[in-house]
Amino acid sequence: MTPLKVLSVASEIYPLIKTGGLADVAGALPGALKSEGIDMRTLVPGYPAVLAALEEAQQLTSFRGVRGGMARLLAGTAHNLKLFVLDAPVHFARPGNPYVGPDGTDWPDNAFRFAAFAKVAAEIGLGSLPGFVPDVLHLHDWQAGLTAAYLHYSGKTALPATVMTIHNLAFQGQFPAELLEPLGLPPAALAWDGVEHYGAIGFLKAGLQLAGWITTVSPSYAWEIQQPETGMGFEGLLRARRNRLSGILNGIDTQVWDPATDPRIAATYDAAHLSARAANKVALQESLGLHQEKDAPVAGVVSRLSWQKGPDLLLEALPVLLEEGIQLALLGSGDAEFETKFQEAAETYAGRAGVRLGYDETLAHRIQAGADMLLVPSRYEPCGLTQLCALRYGCVPIVARVGGLSDTVIDANEVALAAGVATGVQFSPVTADSLAAALRKAAWLFRNGAAWRVMQKNGMATDVSWRQPARRYASLYRELCGTQAEAQSTMSAA
Ligand code: ADP
């Protein structure tokens, strides 16, 4: 079988630039797809961090960008990733976060920045690089969404297959309708079956409307986004296109996240030597100023502190958590209000609640290795990665029954416990009361050591790697190419 060529269009990619789960997916997929016979290259914007990491860079083309500045398309590699990089200093030579300026608000020219990015993706899709003519364009989130529109309105009939993936529907890329012409789109595009979204131009809307297939990162989230309460204004479109929408779970890098070899943790261990986790618990308690009590269950949290992740629910349930004799080990950063409240909680409950504000990969590993359970009280969660890491580390996930959390954790209900298949605790609805009830149940299970051990081992035996997801993406690409080839041969026959 000749390898299928896929261009992944991603505005961030781990380990070069990351603000969320999208970067993890974009960074992991190319490697995971290799054994599936897929040659995936990734187009990324030329942020300073990307240009600095690029090796063997080769200039493929140079041109004047949408806003007049000069731009170059480079090819190169970084961390084993084959990249195309849009080096457009006028758009991307800015330090810090890729989407917001130093004052915390969106860069005012985001429409032009990501339109330029999408335009280049579409041109590659139309065959501008003879050395790499993709069969499929895989578009990630709103930053890549307009690619589908540039292809659709290109006037060409031989188009590559397209997949639009939603990593988080909350980020939609909405811009004023007056930008239609400056962005190089025809008047006809400003319609319900084009890029128009509630009177504006929607970059994500363009992708969802015009891509050949839509995926999101869990089957449950694929269902939730079709419902009025959780569809964030897209439920109608997504319901109409539900036969072209599927959920494919994310995986994690099981080499980076491997308790048997992890250099960041105090003591390595595997499922057959779970007692070796104890040293990690002691180290974690020590580093966060928690009392050295080996019988007190430690509940870890590794999270952005934003409304989505339910930090307010956790604060409300904190009295019950402490009453149950559970210690809290929280690592997070985000909204100032939540940061302050957790800091205050750490002072009020010194020795029982340990808090570290900031982003810290090492401590994230140490929490997974040393905590007994991981709390994920998200209000919505497209897939979620922290609970996958927790499963792998024998840290029992206590999760809200939403999105990918409900698809990846087997709740310790009566039947699952009796069958010995549970891997965690789910709670619903997503309220402080039901989180508190889940904490009570978790504390009870923890003290009943045997059931807890079974849950830890089941979690560690769960396949959270990219193997299955990569297989699903590969078969989706092949299916779409087959369909595309058929559609084109029917068109030329007619
Ligand atoms: P989201 O992408 O919505 O933030 P996910 O669970 O999908 O949530 O992915 C978050 C990733 O970022 C996980 O790998 C998690 O371990 C990591 N992470 C989140 N907050 C922190 C933090 N403060 N320090 C270190 N890693 C973090």
Could you give the CA distance from residue 251 to residue 303 in angstroms, rounded to a whole number?
18
* Residue 122 pLDDT exceeds 60: yes
- Average pLDDT on 106-127 reads 97
pTM of the predicted model as reported, rounded to 2 decimal places: 0.93
Q: Residue 219 CB: number of other CB atoms within 10 A?
A: 16
Name which residue sits closest to atom 4 of ligand 1, judged by CA.
20
Spacing, Cα 450 to ligand 1 middle (Å): 30
pLDDT confidence of residue 104: 86
Whole-angstrom CA distances from 93 to 69, 78, 141, 375 are 12, 18, 21, 38
| Mutation test residue for ligand 1: of 361, 385, 402, the one with most atoms within 8 Å of CB | 385
Whether the CB-CB separation of 165 and 198 falls below 8 Å is answered with no
How high is the pLDDT of residue 485? 53
Per-residue pLDDT tens over the stretch 275-334: 999 999 999 999 999 999 989 999 999 999 999 999 999 999 999 999 999 999 999 999
Q: Which residue of 165, 249, 304 sits with most ligand 1 atoms within 8 Å of its CB, as the best mutation to test the pocket?
A: 304
Tell me, what's the pLDDT at 21?
A: 85
Q: Which domains does the chain have, with CATH numbers?
A: 4-251+467-493 (3.40.50.2000), 271-461 (3.40.50.2000)
Q: Determine the distance separating the centroid of ligand 1 and the alpha carbon of 453, expressed in angstroms.
A: 26
Nearest Cα residue to atom 26 of ligand 1: 361
Ligand 1 centroid – CA 307 distance (Å): 14
Q: Which atom of ligand 1 is nearest to the CA of 22?
A: 2
CA 24 / ligand 1 centre spacing (Å): 10
CA of 332 to the centre of ligand 1 (A): 9
> Which tens digits make up the pLDDT trace of 396-427?
999 999 999 999 999 999 999 999 999 999 99
Question: What gap in Å lies between CA 88 and CA 230, rounded to an integer?
Answer: 37
Q: What confidence score (pLDDT) does residue 69 get?
A: 81
Task: Determine the distance separating the centroid of ligand 1 and the alpha carbon of 305, expressed in angstroms.
Answer: 10
Percentage of residues in the chain having pLDDT higher than 90 = 92
Going by C-beta distance under 8 Å and a sequence separation of 6 or more, which residues neighbour residue 82? Answer: 30, 40, 41, 42, 75
What is the pLDDT confidence band of residue 213, given thresholds at 50, 70 and 90?
very high
Mean pLDDT of the chain: 95
* Shortest-distance Cα residue to atom 22 of ligand 1: 359
Give the span between the Cα atoms of 199 and 177, in whole angstroms: 7
Number of the ligand 1 atom closest to the C-alpha atom of 250: 7
The mean pLDDT value for 357-361 works out to 93
Enter the DSSP assignment of 427: E
Amino acid 66: pLDDT: 63
Nearest CA to ligand 1 atom 24: 359
Secondary structure (3-state) at 72: strand
490, pLDDT greater than 50: no
Summarize pLDDT for 16-50 with one digit per residue, the tens: 999 888 999 999 999 999 999 999 999 999 999 99
Q: 36 C-alpha to center of ligand 1: Å? A: 28
CA of 425 to the centre of ligand 1 (A): 20
Which atom of ligand 1 is nearest the CA belonging to 18? 12
Most distant pair of Cα atoms in the chain: their distance:
76
Q: How confident is the model at residue 271 (pLDDT cuts 50, 70, 90)?
A: very high
Looking at the CA of residue 386, tell me the nearest atom of ligand 1.
Answer: 6
Q: What is the pLDDT of residues 427-449, one digit of tens each?
A: 999 999 999 999 999 999 999 88
CA of 118 to the centre of ligand 1 (A): 27
Percentage of the residues of the chain whose pLDDT score is greater than 70: 97
Residues within 6 Å of ligand 1 by CB: 20-21, 302-304, 331-333, 359-361, 364, 383-386
- Condensed to tens digits (0 to 9), the pLDDT of residues 378-388 reads 999 999 999 99
Using pLDDT thresholds of 50, 70 and 90, give the confidence band for residue 1: low
| Cα 343 to ligand 1 centre (Å) | 19
Provide mean pLDDT across the span 374-381. Answer: 97
Q: Taken in order 328, 329, 332, 338, is the CA torsion positive or negative? A: positive
Q: How far apart are alpha carbons 281 and 298 in whole angstroms?
A: 8
| CA pair distance 5, 13, nearest whole angstrom | 19
Q: Distance from the CA of 427 to the center of ligand 1, in angstroms?
A: 21
Confidence label for 463 from pLDDT (cuts 50, 70 and 90):
very high
CA 43 – ligand 1 centroid, Å: 23
Atom of ligand 1 nearest to the CA of 252: 14
Mutation to probe ligand 1, out of 216, 303, 363, 380 (largest number of atoms < 8 A from CB): 303
Report pLDDT for 374.
98
Residue to substitute in 386, 387, 393 for testing ligand 1 pocket (most ligand atoms within 8 angstroms of CB): 386
* Cα 320 off chain centre by: 31
